[in-house]
Amino acid sequence: MKTYFRLLAYAKPIGKFAVPYVVTTLLSVFFSTLNFALIIPLLHTLFETSERGELVDKPENWFDPKSLNYYAQQASEQFGAYEALKLVCIVIVSSVFFSNAFRYISQRVMENLRIHTLLNLRKAVFDNVMNLHVGYFTNQRKGDVISKIASDVQVVQFSVTATLQVVFKEPITLLFYIVALFLISAKLTLFAVMVIPVSAFIISRIVKRLKAQATQAQQVYGNMISYLDEALSGVKIIKAFNATGLIKAKFHNENIRFSKISRRMVRRQQLGSPVSELLGVGMVAVVLLYGGNLVLNGNGDFSAAEFITYIALFSQVMRPAKALTDSFSNIHSGIAAGERVLDLIDQENQIPDAPDAKPLKSFNKGIQLINVGFSYGKRQVLKGVSLDIPKGKTVALVGPSGGGKSTLMDLIPRFMDVDEGEVLIDGINVKNLVSNDLRNIIGLVNQDSFLFNDTIYNNIAFATENITPADVEAAARIANAHDFILETEHGYDTYIGDRGIKLSGGQRQRICIARAVLKNPPILLLDEATSALDTESEKLVQEALSNLMKNRTTLVIAHRLSTIQNADKIVVLDAGRIVEEGTHQQLLLNNGLYRKLIDMQQFGD
């Protein structure tokens, strides 16, 4: 129930929807019950079950269904049988109109609540995902996260909004029906009520396992989305290695698992309808035999017309009962999905700003890392690293793969927080700075060349405010991208496809560099910024980078000698520790790991 009430909180302000829903539902249920109660005067008017001249006594309670006989007979006596019949028909049609009109309005209110809940929940999940630090995603399948945001949230919203039906509509409908049945015949209703729990127990057994099955189904669905994402992202590699059949089989096997689980869930859900219908007919038959015996033997306290109305009304009792069962079934499925969604919301790997975080509007001194340690789970990546990056200087990080270079760089914009030690900007711990201010002074170009499925212009201008087309063009020229942009179909307005697939690797990288140029930050982080370029493209971009890096504080990771040999300082990182520092010439003379990497042709022009 704790999970359920947490999910329900995302429907707030629920009163905005609950009040109109309650009012319209009450009116809809009232008129729906009246529809059946009007069968009594209709039959009496048609068949004149009471002898002419024998007047029906006026009931003491106006809400007694038998009072309808009194008013129908009064109309028949005053206007004649046919006119009375017309009047009854008008009342029936009016009652049906109002019951359906209010039902429609209540459904509209419920749908608005569903959409409102979905909006709030999906926003909360996505906002929290975007607040998680980069390290979280190294241990998570992207498809599983997508599944939680897209599929699980959808299931949860139906679970939450089914609440009003569970706690109000269906119970109220049942209550109205049972009250009407008692008013028609208390003796027969007492007998009938004893039969209902048997049906409810049988149906409850059918849906008992739905929650466990729903949890399993969502997990398998997340795997499917992951396989799909990997297949689409790596389609070139898959085809190059002739692994199409393998990937197809992998996805197909998971698809079969999902289908089997879904089939079992649907079978169990759909079993409720025929079983409840069969039980409902059986219950009606039992009541029909018992009540019919009372009527035929003259032992009943109601007429044949009232008995027919009673049976018609009793046959409807199973409908809200089944709806209740279905609603509980939806809630079970929703809670299972909700636990997965809340798990994503509850991740504690967020990096919120401290309550007393300071704004940072300028950068005057430099960057210092003091005795920094960082871990991925049980594996320690950085081990007591201390590094000084003076303002306006270029520091290059080199070393074998897995040595911690990218992790160290990610600590500066606070994509991750250190486990121990400090990262300082102008002598202030980054944990005590406003994150947005910190990242505003940092430009990032990494080896992934990530671009959005948008125009070239919008990719260069991404998240940079108060810029003009001339600014974008100037940035593109500095990145040596302007000429090839003009050669595209629509120039700067050309759409570049998913992740910039319509561009070459070198072109994508130059667009990313233009994006960093336009931001004009005092700090640059270049992670393998020329790794995707051919020799010709690299010369163009290297020139642009050299101009961009002037008078800026730059931390660069590279495997190419041309990128780092002119750095003010080169730091060699191995197994999470700094093993060498110095200029290119100094490190060559040291005859250490740096020299060894060069001799092994780890670097090269």
The token pair at 189 is 């209703």
CATH number for the domain spanning 230: value is 1.20.1560.10
CA gap 318, 323 in Å, rounded: 8
Question: How do residues 64-82 score in pLDDT, each as one tens digit?
Answer: 556 666 666 667 777 777 7
Note down the domain range covering 594: 366-599
Mark whether 55 and 90 lie in a shared domain: yes
The token pair at 458 is 């919008």
Domain boundary among 313, 345, 377: 345
Q: What would the mean pLDDT of 163-178 be, rounded to a whole number?
A: 77
Which of 269-278, 446-455, 556-565 is predicted least confidently?
269-278
CA gap 550, 112 in Å, rounded: 56
Most confident listed range (100-114, 117-131, 195-209): 100-114
Mark whether 143 and 89 lie in a shared domain: yes
Q: Give the per-residue pLDDT at 473.
A: 93
CA gap 319, 101 in Å, rounded: 19
Mark whether 318 and 382 lie in a shared domain: no
Query: Is residue 38 included in any domain, yes or no?
Result: yes
Query: Is residue 356 included in any domain, yes or no?
Result: no
The token pair at 338 is 């909700």
Q: Give the per-residue pLDDT at 16.
A: 83
* Radius of gyration over every alpha carbon of the chain, rounded to an integer in angstroms: 37
Mark whether 287 and 329 lie in a shared domain: yes
Element (H, E) at 96: helix 81-131
Asked whether 110 and 21 are in contact (CB, 8 A), the reply is yes
The token pair at 5 is 């009430």
Query: Is residue 351 included in any domain, yes or no?
Result: no
Q: Give the per-residue pLDDT at 51.
A: 45
Q: How confident is the model at residue 114 (pLDDT cuts 50, 70, 90)?
A: confident
- Sheet of 442-445, strands arranged across: 442-445, 523-527, 553-557, 394-398, 569-574, 577-582
Mark whether 411 and 311 lie in a shared domain: no
Phi and psi at 504, nearest 5°, equal -75, 170
Mark whether 120 and 219 lie in a shared domain: yes
Q: How confident is the model at residue 327 (pLDDT cuts 50, 70, 90)?
A: low
Q: Give the per-residue pLDDT at 50.
A: 45
Mark whether 514 and 379 lie in a shared domain: yes
Query: Is residue 353 included in any domain, yes or no?
Result: no
Work out the percent of the chain whose per-residue pLDDT is above 70. Answer: 77
- Mean pLDDT of all residues belonging to the chain: 78
Query: Is residue 496 included in any domain, yes or no?
Result: yes
Query: Is residue 357 included in any domain, yes or no?
Result: no
Mark whether 106 and 218 lie in a shared domain: yes
The token pair at 348 is 């504690």
CA gap 337, 144 in Å, rounded: 12
Domain boundary among 297, 315, 345: 345
Question: How do residues 370-381 score in pLDDT, each as one tens digit?
Answer: 999 988 777 889
Q: 464: which DSSP letter? A: -
Helices (H) and strands (E) in the chain, counts: 26, 10
Query: Is residue 350 included in any domain, yes or no?
Result: no
Mark whether 519 and 412 lie in a shared domain: yes
CA gap 436, 359 in Å, rounded: 9
Say which residue the tokens 């739905």 belong to.
Answer: 210
Q: Give the per-residue pLDDT at 249.
A: 84
Domain boundary among 345, 375, 408: 345
> pTM (2 decimals)?
0.66
CATH number for the domain spanning 427: value is 3.40.50.300
Question: How do residues 517-526 score in pLDDT, each as one tens digit?
Answer: 888 889 989 8
Ramachandran region of residue 358, left (φ > 0), alpha (ψ -120 to 50) or beta?
Answer: beta
Closest CA to 149 of 174, 121, 113: 121
Q: How confident is the model at residue 492 (pLDDT cuts 50, 70, 90)?
A: very high
Say which residue the tokens 């020229």 belong to.
Answer: 477
CB atoms within 10 A of CB 350: 14
CA gap 513, 570 in Å, rounded: 22
Mark whether 339 and 464 lie in a shared domain: no
Beta-strand relationship, 420-425 and 366-376: antiparallel
Q: Give the per-residue pLDDT at 215.
A: 64
pLDDT score of 300 more than 60: no
Mark whether 401 and 335 lie in a shared domain: no
The DSSP result for 188-231, as a single string, is HHHHHHTTHHHHHHHHHHHTTTHHHHHHHHHHHHHHHHHHHHHH
Domain count across the chain? 2
CA gap 148, 342 in Å, rounded: 9
Mark whether 309 and 374 lie in a shared domain: no
Pick the residue with more confidence: 92 or 582?
582
Query: Is residue 358 included in any domain, yes or no?
Result: no
